[in-house]
Amino acid sequence: MNTPMTNTTAREQTAILANNKVIRNTYTLLSMTLLFSGLVAGISMALNLPHPGLLLTLGGFFGLLFATSKFSNSSLGLVFVFALTGFMGYTLGPILNAYLALPNGGQVVMTAMGATGAIFLGLSGYALTTRKDFSFMGGFLMVGILVAFLAGLGAVFFEMPGLSLAVSSMFVLLMAGLILYQTSSIIHGGETNYIMATVTLYVSIFNLFTSLLHLLGFMSGDD
């Protein structure tokens, strides 16, 4: 005979298994998309392809992001995930070539890459091991990212280097918070779709890397 306690325990175990599956699928897909994005970036660098420009980059990113979200519950969502991360890898190639052409560019790129990996692994590991709930950060992150995005557009259109550096600093902090928030959301069942979880973490890593690249380039005198 099943008791209320037995039923509750069974539901908790089922929830834990479901969360573990989402975590496993998310990090597997994230690893694959990062490798694919890196491969596309390498090809873009080798062929010395031009950057598509701000408007095309934003259009491609938001268009593919919308398609990924729309089909996130089907296998077609996986196609759009790789299309999105591949496109972002393509846009990254010309940026890396520009930095590598500078005197200390190679060191800046490697430092930014190492720092990005260390920050992501450290924050994800912290959220996974402590299992703290960072859901309270959701509203702050949404507003902060919107403000930083609009400020970034202003820095580009009005050619304000100081504001651009401030935006990069903001994005480093915001992406660090987003990594904690998204990882916590997976652990506590707030995010059950591993495709969307992967996209959020990928975008966090991408923006964290490019922001660190900008800041380190400025500090080294290459920007």
Compare 102 and 5 and report the one with higher pLDDT: 102
**Phi, psi angles (nearest 5°) of residue 66:** -65, -45
- Mean pLDDT over residues 149-169, rounded? 93
- The tens digit of pLDDT for each residue in 119-151 reads 999 999 999 999 999 999 999 999 999 999 999
Taking the whole predicted model, whether its pTM rises above 0.85 is answered as: yes
Question: What single string gives the DSSP state of each residue in the chain?
Answer: ---HHHHHHHHHHHHHHHHHHHHHHHHHHHHHHHHHHHHHHHHHHHTTPPP--HHHHHHHHHHHHHHHHHTTTSTHHHHHHHHHHHHHHHHHHHHHHHHHTSTTHHHHHHHHHHHHHHHHHHHHHHHHHH----GGGHHHHHHHHHHHHHHHHHHHHTT-HHHHHHHHHHHHHHHHHHHHHHHHHHHTTS---HHHHHHHHHHHHHHHHHHHHHHHHHHTT--
Q: Is the pLDDT confidence value at 166 over 80?
A: yes
Q: Is the pLDDT confidence value at 56 over 60?
A: yes
Please choose, from the candidates 169, 65, 42, 178, the residue with its C-alpha nearest in 3D space to the C-alpha of residue 120.
178
Q: Which residue has the tokens 């080798």?
A: 46
CA distances 41 to 45, 46, 86, Å, are 6, 9, 8
Among the residue ranges 3-12, 26-35, 41-50, 173-182, the one predicted with the least confidence is 3-12
Q: Is the pLDDT confidence value at 16 over 90?
A: no
At residue 12, the pLDDT reads 61
- Mean pLDDT over residues 11-26, rounded? 77
